[in-house]
Amino acid sequence: MQALLTDKELLDFKKKADALRKKKYSYQESDALQAAEVNLKVRRAQGRMEEYLNGLIILVGSRGSAYVPFEEAFERSDDPIVIEALEKYNTPEARRDLFYILKALTQIPKTWARSAFTRFLRGTGKQKNSPYDGAGLFGTIYGWKGAEVEAIAKVVAGDNWGHYASYSSVLMSYKDMYNEISDAANQEGYDTIDVDARNYATNADRDVEFLLQCCAWLREKGLADKPTPKAKKPKKARNPKVFKKGDTIRKRHLRDLPLPALVEIPIQRWDNEKREWDTESTETIKYVVIALGNDGYYQHALVEPSSGRAYPTGELWNGEYPSRHKDDLDGAIYLGKWTKAIATNKIVRLDFSWRVKRT
């Protein structure tokens, strides 16, 4: 099939771009030329709606695992591989799912960028229980995985800022507020650039008329009924582990560790002379586990063998002790709850390199 632009048109754009590069030009001139090419492709794509939607049907029907690049959806629409994929994925269910994705884009706020749209489809976060068509229809209760929804949203609502033609640029454009915000902040003699501008200045200009035309085409082809959410399986009651002195700690039981906890970790020293780990070592170190974070780390203090007192291994930051990765504690021995105070009048560090000894 025919490409969106003819060879002559592509050559014309290339000549204009080459001419710009040979002279002193402004970014506005370059952006304008780029925008002209994108806009022409968008108009051509909208005029070939069926081929455009077929590409999206394959994407949605495969749940993001099959993808026909935007321009190839037109250039290769009669390719046997594309035809075979379309025959496989062009189902009433896929058309229904795409219908609700596109219908939602006619209703959701302009300030919603791709991340918000993804949460809306999944029914999570701030967009949970939104009053728009398709809200939560792509959540786990309908059998969808987060990565599948993200893959589709990235294509349908991707924020490319008009730098190139894509599936999303046919449906919408993100107004570039970056320069407007920067210009407003400028003072004479200064060029002020707000690096956070893009993060809070989302303004999606969606082509509602074309979106509704797409929805009408999909409805005419036939849509499946809305799916029935899966019944949630009742969660089994969790039996927390009761730690006893001498128990081996496993990561799955870390949440049950009584804090602050005294633990003993088997280690291997780095032998500087041999330039290797001492694998025969039976050495251990003792830590006080003070707090368990949600980021995979734990706060700790080192127990000095000679005094039996616990000291931080570095400076406290906002009242928090130095941290290490929780992997250290998998296989450590629980020695009981730490009942003494932790001395903060000095810092004690090990003067050798070590790693956890795994058995």
Query: What pLDDT shows up at residue 191?
Result: 41
Rounded distance between C-alpha atoms, residue 266 and residue 334, angstroms: 12
pLDDT beyond 70 at 160: no
Q: Give the global pTM.
A: 0.62
Query: What pLDDT shows up at residue 159?
Result: 67
- What would the two tokens of residue 157 be? 């609502």
Identify which of 8-22, 24-38, 86-100 has the greatest average pLDDT. 86-100
Query: What pLDDT shows up at residue 190?
Result: 45
196-253 pLDDT, tens per residue?
Answer: 434 444 678 899 999 999 999 999 999 999 998 887 778 888 899 999 999 999 999 9
Query: What pLDDT shows up at residue 162?
Result: 54
pLDDT beyond 90 at 257: yes
Q: CB–CB of 301/310 below 8 Å?
A: yes
Mean model confidence pLDDT for the chain = 87
Query: What pLDDT shows up at residue 182?
Result: 43
- Annotate 238-306 with DSSP letters as a single string: P------TTPBP-GGGGGG--SSEEEEEEEEEEETTTTEE-TT---EEEEEEEEE-TTSEEEEEEEPTT
Rounded distance between C-alpha atoms, residue 217 and residue 207, angstroms: 16
Instruction: Tell me which residue of 327, 259, 264 sits closest to 296, measured CA to CA.
Output: 327
Exposure string over 345-354, b if 16+ CB within 10 A, otherwise e: eeebeeeeeb
Strand partners, 302: 287, 311
pLDDT beyond 60 at 336: yes
Q: In the structure, what pLDDT confidence band is assigned to residue 331 with cuts at 50, 70 and 90?
A: very high
CA distances from 312 to 247, 266, 307, 308, 344 (A): 25, 20, 14, 13, 7
Query: What pLDDT shows up at residue 192?
Result: 42
Query: What pLDDT shows up at residue 244?
Result: 96
Query: What pLDDT shows up at residue 254?
Result: 94
Query: In this structure, which amino acid lies at residue 279?
Result: T
Q: In the structure, what pLDDT confidence band is assigned to residue 161 with cuts at 50, 70 and 90?
A: low
What share of the chain has pLDDT > 70, as a percent?
A: 90
- Annotate 224-239 with DSSP letters as a single string: PPPPPPPPPPPPPPP-
- What would the two tokens of residue 42 be? 């968008």
From start to end of the chain, where are the E strands?
A: 172-174, 204-206, 261-271, 276-277, 284-292, 297-303, 310-311, 323-325, 333-337, 354-356
Domain extents in the chain: 7-221, 251-356
Query: In this structure, which amino acid lies at residue 237?
Result: A
